Amino acid sequence: MKPNKLFPIIFAALVVIAIGGTFILIKSTPKSTQVTPPPVNTPATPRPAPDFTIKLFSGRTISLKDFRGKTPVVLNFWASWCPPCRAEAPTLAKVSKRYEGKVKFLGIAINDTRADSLAFMKEFGISYDNGPDQSNIGASYGLTGVPETFWIDKRGQIVGHWIGAIDEANLTARTEELSR
């Protein structure tokens, strides 16, 4: 066989060996050494929350500015296909009921279908307002993924930001602080 015909065969074999070796290495790494990044509590220097208008799954339309001067807002970005979102959903449903009338909870579904979003909300008993992100609200907030939660005070300032699934103690503490 001529050298110029042998080179592509050898190259292809090396690529297959490299891919196979990488796969074996990943599969043989014990799960206890595979690290999942923890949620990140990012202290926020108060800054204006980007205003938005959203058509809720209920059919109503609301704007963030509707709450300015009246009610603080907990804004949660989520998706039904997101495992950490599923983990935090019962906590959000529970805490939102505790602060009903004092703090507005608002959910924004990212890259999700209406049917999947509604099924998710029903499954976890989420009764606070939710709607799909059809106008890149997440981008205006600098969303890095889902879930992410923002605390917005009565003046319309972002005063807190949490990246990843939030537990009840942290959600309650942040929301209590916001409600004062």
What is the per-residue pLDDT across 27-75, written as a single tens digit (0 to 9) for each? 443 433 333 345 566 655 899 999 999 999 999 999 999 999 999 999 9
Question: What is the Cα–Cα distance from 133 to 143, expressed in whole angstroms?
Answer: 12
Beta bridge partners of 54: 62
Q: How many CB atoms lie within 10 A of CB 56?
A: 15
> Do 68 and 24 belong together in one domain?
no
Torsion over CA: 96, 156, 77, 59 (sign): positive
Q: What is the pTM of this model?
A: 0.78
What is the per-residue pLDDT across 88-147, written as a single tens digit (0 to 9) for each? 999 999 999 999 999 999 999 999 999 999 999 999 999 999 999 999 999 999 999 999
CATH of the domain at 155: 3.40.30.10
Q: Provide the residue range defining the domain that includes 175.
A: 40-179
